[in-house]
Amino acid sequence: MKPLGSEETDLEDGKLEKDREKSVRSNRVVRIHNQALLSGFAYCISSCSMILVNKFVLSSYDFNAGISLMIYQNLVSVIVVTVLSFFGLITTEPLTWKLIKVWLPVNVIFVGMLVTSMFSLKYINVAMVTVLKNVTNVITAVGEMYLFNKHHDNRVWAALFLMIISAISGGITDLSFNGIGYTWQIINCFLTASYSLTLRRVMDTAKQVTKSGNLNEFSMVLLNNTLSLPLGVILMFVFNEVDYLSTTPLLRLPTFWLVMTLSGFLGLAISFSSMWFLHQTGATTYSLVGSLNKIPLSVAGIVLFHVPTSLENSASIFFGLVAGVFFAKAKMRERSQS
């Protein structure tokens, strides 16, 4: 027979073990929660900062070489990803000719998407660019319906209709309306939707020609940015940016190079933070936060760049941002039902 004291000790040990398990479990939940908050904050800050810094370079510095800016940013990304891969901190797929041939059509659209984004951002204020980008969702939804036979529910179409209305009313009431900027932005919407739709078709084929049978985000960043460099150089000559670069005094300013380099790191930070945030939360939270993130971005764009606005234009912008959130929630509901 055990003495009474040992039974009391066993009971106490059991309680201590349970308390310890509860403590470990609660610490793990707190840690996961903190990781989700931190990754979401990093994603929001990097995505907002990237657009604002690009706008600062193109408008405040009056830099008339958007393609060259894109090339420099992509070059920074290639160097950083290559260094991280070399030291084994990340894994990337080797760039084989088979993979390059499969990926090249997507990359041409990717380059066009980045270039037109630079051109539109030079002429249009950040808030209106954010609202006009909603048109991409409309084009993508129509493309999904015809190419993939994917049907959306009435809530999604209602949100898309609100986006179109807000884009039209925003353009009409825009006090700093610029026809060239709006044209580039519309082209950008079509190219962005085309990139999204084409990527879905090419991804499966691309995975088949890789050594591991997979293509992660880091490999896509390296592939897209590496292939964009020769295409970007060709476009530099087509748009006659070489002559501008040889005469502009901006390239002799250390602060200008600092801002350009910062924009390159921010572009890479978006890729890393979006992967981290998506891993910590999920596609639904990611898309909803992305839509909500446009609200402070638009406000910051108006305040920082002293954009002239009216009550009607502000209402149109706000209407478009709310439509974006409504669209994200409608897509979440659609996913949960399918």
pLDDT in tens, 296-323: 899 999 999 989 888 999 999 998 888 8
Backbone phi and psi for residue 62, each to the nearest 5 degrees, phi listed first: 55, 45
Residue 338 pLDDT: 64
User: What's the rounded Cα separation, in Å, for the pair 263 and 46?
Assistant: 10
Token pair for residue 96?
């084989």
Residue 9 pLDDT: 47
Nearest alpha carbon to residue 166 among 140, 192, 189, 132 = 132
Mean pLDDT calculated for residue range 145-158: 86
Instruction: Give ∠ CA 238-241-242 in degrees, rounded to 5.
Output: 100
Residue 289 pLDDT: 80
Most confidently modeled range among 116-120, 276-280, 319-323: 116-120
Helices (H), the chain: 4-55, 66-86, 97-123, 126-132, 135-147, 154-173, 179-208, 217-238, 241-247, 254-280, 283-292, 294-304, 311-337
Residue 178 pLDDT: 92
How much of the chain exceeds pLDDT 90, in percent?
43
Residue 4 pLDDT: 47
Residue 279 pLDDT: 75
Residue 180 pLDDT: 94
* Residue-wise pLDDT tens digits, 161-190: 988 999 999 999 998 899 999 999 999 999
CB 257 within 8 A of CB 12: no
Q: Tell me the three state secondary structure of residue 179.
A: helix
CB 39 within 8 A of CB 273: yes
Could you tell me the pLDDT band of residue 235, with boundaries at 50, 70 and 90? very high
User: What is residue 62's DSSP assignment?
Assistant: -
Mean pLDDT calculated for residue range 126-147: 89
Token pair for residue 268?
């890479």
328 vs 234, which has greater pLDDT? 234
**pLDDT at residue 264 tops 80:** yes
Could you tell me the pLDDT band of residue 118, with boundaries at 50, 70 and 90? very high
Residue 170, number of CB atoms within 10 A of its CB: 25
Residue 123 pLDDT: 93
Residue 266's contacts (CB-CB under 8 Å, 6 or more residues apart) are 46, 49, 50, 53
Nearest alpha carbon to residue 102 among 258, 231, 255, 220 = 220
Residue 147's contacts (CB-CB under 8 Å, 6 or more residues apart) are 197
pTM of the predicted structure, to 2 decimals:
0.84
Average of per-residue pLDDT values in the chain: 85
User: What's the rounded Cα separation, in Å, for the pair 204 and 200?
Assistant: 7
